[in-house]
Amino acid sequence: MIFLKLLFHVFIFLLLTIATQIGGVIYLVSLFLVKKNSEKKALRRFLYFSIIYLIATFIIVPNISPFFGREKIKESEVLQAHSFFYKLANRNYVKPELNTVISKIAIDFSTKNKGIKLIYLDANFPFFDKFPLLPHLSHNDGKKIDISFVYATNEALSNKKPSISGYGVYENSTTKEFNQTEFCKDKGYWQYDFPKYLTLGTINKDIAFSNKANKDLIEILVNQKEVGKIFIEPHLKNRLNLSSDKIRFHGCGAVRHDDHIHFQLK
């Protein structure tokens, strides 16, 4: 019984650490603060955890992270997270240089496309290089960020996206285009389209991938001298007629990039 309890605590600790970086440690603190024999132990622990976690996430961490070379993404009218989850889980930290670049990209893009926002997904955690933000192994140094593609309803650009989580709804290759997914899966890379299980549900079925707006957006990315690499699926690079050598193929060992754009600093 004690062993099972311990296993449970370890499991929660790992889960919270993987999802939020600081949650696991705060869970341990709340275990420590609420004594074993106290009344309504589980409820009290949950309350302690929630309060400390919220204070840490929204007040303490944003003030400490600059000492670790990272800052919270500065949101604006034109730059926003896909959902509150990314901010609640501390997945919205970047190096100051990346913060400057994404604001600039958002402003450039919305100037060209009135009313359309730059929507970001997973960036990095606030602390420690080499601490990966799973499932993205490379998002571990403050220099990486994922952003959403842009979609349109009846030709009019929209801020709607097709997936609740922000990942896993693909802009598939047509029969005339190269099918990278089939190629990678045939080679045994079973994980290549794994994010299809991570949508948390598909929404806004009336929207369609906008070739024009996504080309605009990626060209703005390419034109930033601070941006090193950009990952999208090869069939989209072709379809959008993009030729910059900053736009690379991420390799079959990664996952599909026709549900989002990844880019990183040099």
d(CA 78, CA 241): 26
Name the amino acid, one letter, at 115. Answer: G
**Residue 117 or 256: which CB sits closer to Zn ion?**
256
Residue with nearest beta carbon to Zn ion: 262
- Closest by Cα among 246, 249, 244 to 265: 246
- The footprint of Zn ion (CB under 5 A) covers 136, 146, 262
In this complex, which beta carbon is closest to Zn ion, that of residue 239 or of residue 262?
A: 262
In whole angstroms, the minimum distance from the beta carbon of 139 to Zn ion comes to 6
Nearer to Zn ion, 53 or 258 (CB): 258
Q: Chain-centre distance of CA 157, in angstroms?
A: 22
Q: How far is the CB of 163 from Zn ion (least distance, A)?
A: 15
**19-to-10, 12, 15, 40, 88 alpha-carbon distances in Å:** 14, 10, 6, 26, 10
Closer residue to Zn ion, CB minimum distance, 23 or 166 = 166
The nearest distance, CB 137 to Zn ion, in angstroms, is: 9
Q: Which long-range contacts (CB under 8 A, 24 or more apart) does 184-192 make?
A: 184/252, 187/252, 189/252, 189/253, 191/255, 192/252, 192/254, 192/255, 192/256
Distance, CA of 35 to CA of 46 (rounded, Å): 13
Question: Toward Zn ion, which CB reaches closer, 34 or 143?
Answer: 143
**Nearest distance from residue 243's CB to Zn ion, in Å?**
22
Q: Is 208 left (phi over 0), alpha (psi -120 to 50) or beta?
A: beta
C-beta atoms surrounding 124 within 10 Å = 29
Least distance to Zn ion, CB of residue 134, Å: 12
Provide, rounded to whole angstroms, the least separation between the CB of residue 22 and Zn ion.
21
Beta carbon nearer to Zn ion, 146 or 193? 146
